[in-house]
Amino acid sequence: MAALSELKSIAAEGNKLLAQREQNIARAHMGGVPWFAVAWGLGNFAIWLSLWPLVIFSIVPVWAAFPIATLNVILCYLPSHEAQHDIIGRKGTKWRWLNELVGHVSTIPLVLPYRAAKLTHLEHHKHTNDPERDPDYSMRANGPWHMIWVSLKNRQPGSNRGLRGYRDALIKIGRPDVVVDGLIYQFVFYGILCALAWAGFGIEALLLWWLPRHIGTAYIQFFLSWAPHHPAVETGRYRNTRYWRSAVGNIASMGMQYHIVHHLHPSIPLTRTPAAYRELRPILEARGCRLEDH
Amino acid sequence: MLIAVLKTGFQLGPLLFGLLFIPPVTAQILTVLDWTPPLGMTPLLAGFLLGGIWGVYAQWRGSWLTWRP
């Protein structure tokens, strides 16, 4: 009995040491303003915005602007994601205004209100892979092609899953006021599309915003919601997401190969997660994390 | 009041999209492709036909693509 108690005590001590080492490594990768994310978020939005006059005044052909706009939408979420975790500027610090600016502005091409994105994303972190409480759980799918189909189905008008399920998630956490943000964004988005179409710029509206938004939504959901959590059956700090090798590489999968680092330490900026992962790897192995190199 | 209007607009979204966005876009695409709609229809009328039918379907079924949402 005494031996068992001693073993438990040793295990607890080992656990504590491991946690301390993990915290020390993580802390070394936190702090400072991630200026790259700031420039990315605001610059990406500026490029997308500049496409409109360039196309409308026939300086750039719409067929050439379409892939740029699609790339802009794909790239617009992550800077806001940094802001959602207060990485650019915490409350009460001098860069807080910049944090909120990047958070609000960068996802405009995606028509995703910052407050709704932030609250639902934090719920995702708290309840990852919980069928009842994870707002992103409905992005679960059997494989890559099925995921694209799920993403499309979740966006249909009668669906209450995916982004359309955020309404219920916000009500559940007692923030129905933020649902209004989504309604206003949708109203303005479709209002602008219709106005442009009746003004003779329907193809431009279609190829600079409507279609890029659909492609971008699928891409973001694929690499941020589905791939890092697949098959999304386990909960718990060290098992609810994974390190994985993307067939398209880390940049094209938007840094999400190292999503496990983000879930464990959300205050580490995206660009520092690969380095943090390399240092944390022995600890993650000891914790039994899902480190899928193949 | 504003929220009620937004909610109603959201609930009638497919129908509104079918009648307010699809027709002018369809007309513009048909014109660019230099394609004449059948039965003497104007490009805009063809757009209203397409957007109207598809929008009513999406409003009714809750999906633009499938029978079930």
Residue B50 domain boundaries: 2-61
Q: Region of A276 please: left (phi>0), alpha (psi -120 to 50) or beta.
A: alpha
Residues A186 and A44 in one domain: yes
| A244 DSSP assignment | E
Q: Please say which residue of A209, A235, A261 terminates a domain.
A: A235
**CA torsion through residues A19, A25, A27, A29, sign:** negative
Q: Please say which residue of A186, A211, A235 terminates a domain.
A: A235
Q: What percent of chain B has pLDDT over 70?
A: 100
Residue B46 lies in a domain: yes
Residues A86 and A72 in one domain: yes
Q: Give the total number of structural domains in chain A.
A: 2
Residues A154 and A71 in one domain: yes
Residue B31 lies in a domain: yes
Question: What pLDDT does residue A8 have?
Answer: 82
Among candidates A153, A186, A200 on the partner chain, residue whose Cβ is nearest the Cβ of B28: A200
Gap between the Cα atoms of B69 and B67, Å rounded: 7
Among candidates A152, A187, A203 on the partner chain, residue whose Cβ is nearest the Cβ of B28: A203
Using a CB–CB cut-off of 8 Å, the residues of B that contact A are: 3, 6-7, 9-10, 13-14, 16-17, 20-21, 24-25, 27-29, 32, 58-59, 61-66, 69
For residues A135 and A224, the answer to whether their CB atoms sit within 8 Å is: no
Question: What pLDDT does residue B11 have?
Answer: 86
Q: Give the total number of structural domains in chain B.
A: 1
- Give yes or no for A202 touching B (CB within 8 A): yes
What is the tens place of the pLDDT at every residue in A29-66?
999 999 999 999 999 999 999 999 999 999 999 999 99
Residues A230 and A242 in one domain: no
Residue A190 lies in a domain: yes
Residue A197 lies in a domain: yes
For residues A194 and B21, the answer to whether their CB atoms sit within 8 Å is: yes
**Mean pLDDT along residues B12-21:** 96
Residues A258 and A198 in one domain: no
Residue B40 lies in a domain: yes
Residues A63 and A180 in one domain: yes
Cβ <8 Å between A158 and B20:
no
Retrieve residue B32's tokens: 């660019």
Q: What is the pTM of this model?
A: 0.94
Q: Which of A292, A256, A288, A289 is nearest to A271 (CA)?
A: A256
Residue A100 lies in a domain: yes
How close are the terminal C-alpha atoms of chain A, in Å? 43
Q: By CB neighbour count within 10 A (0-12 exposed, 13-18 middle, 19+ buried), where does A217 fall?
A: buried
Radius of gyration of chain A (CA): 21
Residue A210 domain boundaries: 32-235
Residues A114 and A20 in one domain: no
Q: To which H or E segment does residue A8 belong? A: helix A2-28
Residue B69 lies in a domain: no
Among candidates B6, B64, B65 on the partner chain, residue whose Cβ is nearest the Cβ of A187: B6
Q: Complex ipTM above 0.90?
A: yes
What is the tens place of the pLDDT at every residue in A71-87?
999 999 999 999 999 99
Residues A124 and A54 in one domain: yes
For residues A120 and A165, the answer to whether their CB atoms sit within 8 Å is: no
DSSP assignments along A66-125, one per residue: HHHHHHHHHHTHHHHHHHHTT-S--TTSTTHHHHHHHHHHHTGGGT--HHHHHHHHHHHH
Residue A241 lies in a domain: yes
Residue A109 lies in a domain: yes
Name every residue whose Cβ is closer than 8 Å to that of residue A157 and which is 6 or more positions away in sequence.
B13, B14, B58, B59, B62, B63, B64, B69
Residues A229 and A267 in one domain: no
Residue A25 lies in a domain: yes
Helix count and strand count (H, E) for chain B: 4, 0
Residue A4 lies in a domain: no
**Mean pLDDT along residues B5-27:** 91
Gap between the Cα atoms of A186 and A132, Å rounded: 26
CB atoms within 10 A of CB B30: 19
Residues A175 and A274 in one domain: no
Residues A166 and A136 in one domain: yes
Query: Which segments in chain A show pLDDT lower than 70?
Result: 1-2
DSSP assignments along A19-57, one per residue: HHHHHHHHHHT--S--HHHHHHHHHHHHHHHHHHHHHHT
- Give yes or no for A177 touching B (CB within 8 A): no
Residue A278 lies in a domain: yes
Residues A92 and A216 in one domain: yes
Question: What pLDDT does residue A1 have?
Answer: 63
- Cβ-Cβ contacts under 8 Å, A205 against chain B: 21, 25
